[in-house]
Structure 1
Amino acid sequence: MNERMPLPSARDGHPFPDLAHVRAVLFDFDGTLVDTERLIVESMMRLLEEEAPGRFRPEDVRRNLGLTLDAQLRLYFPGRTEEEYARLAARYREDHERRFAEGVRVFPGVPELLRALKEAGISAAVVTNRHRRTLEYGVHKLGLAPCFATLVAYQDVERHKPDPEPVRTALARLKVPPTYALMIGDQPEDRLAAQGAGVHFAWAGWSPLARTNADGDAPLLFSPHELLIALSRTREGGSSGRL
C-alpha cells in the first residue's frame, strides 16, 4: 500500500481522522455554510440596545452565537417571564428575517464542495439551532437545497446543540452510523454535539469565528476545498465515487 500524503490539517498540528468510510458530512449552518455573523450580531445588538442600553457589546453577542436564541435571551435577560421571552424572540426574529433576506451570503467554495459531495455519493445534511423558516429560505435562495439529504433545525428536536440529539437525528434520517460521519462547524457547541454523538469533527476554518474558537481538539480546515482534498486522499481505492 502506498504511503498517504500529509493531509492539509497537518499544519494545525492535529492529525485528520481516516475518512475512507465517510458516508455523510453534517454541516452547521451559520458561520459554516453561510456568512451571517454580522447579520445576527446587528439584530441582537438592536434588541439589546432597546432593552438594556449600553450594557452589552458586539463581542458579548459573538461569544454566544452557538446557543439557541432562547438560551441567549435568558442569558442576557435573566428572570423574565415566558411571555416576555416570547416577545423578545419575536422582536429579534422580525428584525433578523429582514436582514437575513437582504444579506445572507454563502462562503466561497461551499457550493462547489456540496456539489462534489453529492456527485461522490456522500450525503450532506445541515444540523443547526436556527429556526426552520429562515433555514429553508436560505438554502433555497442560495441554490443549495438540492445538495442536502436532510435539514435538522430548531423545531426538529427537543434538545439542541451542544446536546447530541440534533446530530443523532440527522444520522437516523440518513441511516448512517456515527463512525461513518463527519461534522463541520464553527462553534464549541458544534464540536460538543458531534463528540457526544460519536461523530468525527473538524473546524470550518474559512470562518473567522471557527479560527477563534478552534481549541486544538479537532482538525482545522482553512477552505472548503481542503475538505475535498482530505476526503479524496483518504478514500483512494475505497470508494467508487469521485471527489
Structure 2
Amino acid sequence: MIKLVLFDIDGTLIDTDAALIRAFQNVFSCFAMRPPTEQEVLQGVGHCDEEWIKLAWTGSCPIPTQKVAEMSEYFKQKYLGFYFPVLARLGEGAKETLEKLRKQGIKTAIVTNGRKEYAESVLSYFKLEGLFDLVVSADDVAHVKPSPEPLLHALDHFKLKPWDALYLGDTELDARAAKAAKVHFALMVRARNSLVKSKRRLGSLKEIPVLVQKL
C-alpha cells in the first residue's frame, strides 16, 4: 500500500501555465527581446528559471549569463508579484484530496525543481502549509529532476522504500525522475504533455485517493 504521495507544483498541484506564459513574455518584452510563443514557454516547464529562459529564447545568439541572471530576477518579481496571484489556479479537488490522503494515514510531500522560497510562497498563498509533511526543493539537493535525488531525499526522510511512494508530475523530467527512483508515477494530463510516457494518466487530483488503494 502507498504510504507517501509526492506532488510536483507547477502544472500538477497548481495550474500555472497561463501565469508562466504571460510572465515570461513580459520579461522578454521588457528586455527588448522577441517574446516567446506559448509553446516556446511551455517547453521549459519543470526547469529552473535560468535554464527556462535559455530554452524559450530562439534568437541566433545565446543570451549572456549576466543578462539571464537579470531576467531571472525580474521574472521572479513579476511572476510572484502579479501574474501568479491573478492567473494561477489551485488544481481541482486539491485540498479535498490532500485531506483524504492524510485521513488515510498517508504522508504528503512537495518535490519541485523550484527554490524553497517559491514552494513555500505557493503553499502559503493557497493555504496548504498544514497539508504537507515535507517540501523538497532545489535548495535541498545537489541535483534536481530528472535526477532521482529529490525523490530519494523524500524517501530517506520518511524511511520508506520506493514501492511505498507515488509521485504526481506533469513533465518528462518528472517521469524520468520517478523511473530512476523506482517509485510509482502518475502523469497529470495537460494539452502540452501528450507525448510523455506514463501508464497512469490522471485528469484530476480527485482520482488520487482511489489510485493509491490500487497500488
TM-score (norm 2): 0.89
Q: Are 2:163 and 1:179 equivalent residues in the alignment?
A: yes
Q: Are 2:105 and 1:105 equivalent residues in the alignment?
A: no
Letter in 1 for 2:124: H
Contact 1:187 1:213 in 2 (8 A): no
Q: Are 2:2 and 1:22 equivalent residues in the alignment?
A: yes
Contact 2:4 2:165 in 1 (8 A): yes
Instruction: Specify which structure has the bigger relative contact order, considering alpha-carbon pairs within 8 angstroms and separated by 6 or more residues.
Output: 1
Q: Deviations over 1:53-87 (max 9, x none)?
A: 43631111111112111212233376444432221
Distance in 2 between the 1:110 and 1:209 partners? 21
**Cα shift at 1:169:** 1.5
Q: Deviations over 1:96-137 (max 9, x none)?
A: 111223443211111111111111111111111122222112
Contact 1:214 1:220 in 2 (8 A): no
Q: Are 2:202 and 1:218 equivalent residues in the alignment?
A: no
What is the SS of the residue equivalent to 2:145?
Answer: coil
Distance in 2 between the 1:82 and 1:63 partners? 21
Distance in 1 between the 2:35 and 2:97 partners? 41
**Cα shift at 1:199:** 0.9
How large is the RMSD of aligned CA atoms in angstroms? 2.0
Letter in 2 for 1:158: A
Q: Deviations over 1:123-172 (max 9, x none)?
A: 11111112222211211221211111101112222211111111111212
Q: How does 1:95-134 map to 2 (within 5 A)?
A: 95-98=78-81, 99-134=83-118
Distance in 2 between the 1:94 and 1:214 partners? 31
Contact 1:131 1:154 in 2 (8 A): yes
Contact 2:109 2:135 in 1 (8 A): yes
Structure 1 unaligned spans of 5+: 1-20, 236-243
TM-score (norm 1): 0.79
2:18 aligned residue: 38
Aligned length, in residue pairs? 211
Specify which of 166, 175, 181 is matched with residue 150 of structure 2: 166
Q: What is the percent sequence identity of the aligned residues? A: 27
Letter in 2 for 1:63: Q
Contact 1:104 1:138 in 2 (8 A): no
Structure 2 unaligned spans of 5+: none
What is the SS of the residue equivalent to 2:97?
Answer: helix
What is the SS of the residue equivalent to 2:89?
Answer: coil
What is the SS of the residue equivalent to 1:182?
Answer: strand
Moved over 6 A (4+): none
Contact 2:18 2:88 in 1 (8 A): no
Q: Are 2:116 and 1:135 equivalent residues in the alignment?
A: no
1:93 aligned residue: 76
Contact 1:105 1:142 in 2 (8 A): no
1:154 aligned residue: 138
Contact 2:18 2:87 in 1 (8 A): no
Cα separation, partners in 2 of 1:163 and 1:173, compared to 1, 3 Å: same
